[in-house]
Structure 1
């Protein structure tokens, strides 16, 4: 890895050739992206500190290095973490410990923001030729894909997923409460808060092989999560879930994939690649500075790019 002193390195969760990594830099405001920066795909977040250490070891003895002052940055999915979760370690201490400064998306993951780019999605899909398999001449898809249609589907989808998302939230919190714990097995065929609590207690009794005190401390996770956001009301009445709640707290990657599958089936759009659509949205957003995703990326990175610019002046 060729590390340059004047470059700000930003680690991103993603596989090689992921559509978002190359695009994120192009979405940054023109008045701050004069600083050299590089996004690096590192797979999962467990690799953040390993890669960060490699970068620090290359530059930590060079007085002119940006990373003598600014930590290696890492953009991570918020997942089911508490919204208020922050990295409270000082930048100097992170650099001293060769660790990355983790910045979380304000929504579950970056795909959640794509669910607000409906004008770009509808414009692109309505221009696609009909690729049905009946060998008839290609024609334009009937322009019936509207933002209202997509929002109606997303609302119904999120409301149908309330209990599934709650279970995934519980499993996530349990797994991250102690690395020694195994994953909880997802339940099947149960509904309602009482049954969910019984499932949870039976799982920690069966799988955690920890002391009774630790088991009892984990029991509290269920009720703690239940009272966060509006989970209790959502489980008791899924119709109370608002569309914006789903976009904010539920898994956007799964929602985007289900939306694409629904549109493909409903409007006979065949062979539409998910990454292709993501690439097109991101490319179009380069000229949409009012985009929520563009605003989010600039909000996350602008303070560090401004600081880097001052360091290099």
Structure 2
């Protein structure tokens, strides 16, 4: 078994990854400034901040990991004025790269970026083609460039798409909660295809990338389930699981009005209104990535869409 350091192991994907890799018998340490969401793993928590090279160096020296999965980041979209608000995604990445550069015993590092290095309706021609829609996306672009320009160790950059499942937060926890309350409405006659990922499939994919033979792994992957899902089908499955009925649909015009109201409420200071123009655009726009490279590496995924929805709904019922 291997020693694996996970930065950001108290976050959404990190919480699931700590649990998954620990269940496989690996020795795992969670480097995070926040306590674990799953208190079962308090014993493997190393309190530290990626903005401190001293903290990172101390963790590496004491744990001596063979592999690293770097997930720690600021992931909200709230910063509108200064990209330095996302220093964790820039200076934090630079610190991780520099510390790992000085640890040649580490066999491979996975750096988590984001699909938001490109806006939702932009299909990049390659992994160096960027079109970020906001400051968060820009910070992730800078993080990728730091890895590519400064890392002298073996690494893979992954771009999680839209990942959902147990321990999730905004925006997909909001989606499930809204469906549960019967307040979610799909735009009528808009059924886009989406590259979304159930988090327990994502952790499986990360494991496969982490331990793949060098001649079989690429340097860049999107993380998503395959094939892509139909948003209407997904919403119906969630609604049936939570409410025993299919999801609601209404014409586009009233949703546009509600989204404009949400935009105005954001200006007034409400960080997370149920619907904004940004979210409405996401609802009606296809977001499909070519997942063939990841499928070739990982093969069949452990969970199908129906199983993922049921596991997530059951977790919500027990999450107090």
TM-score relative to the length of structure 2 = 0.31
Instruction: Pick the structure with more helix per residue.
Output: 1
Structure number with greater CO (CA < 8 Å, separation at least 6) is 1
TM-score relative to the length of structure 1 = 0.31
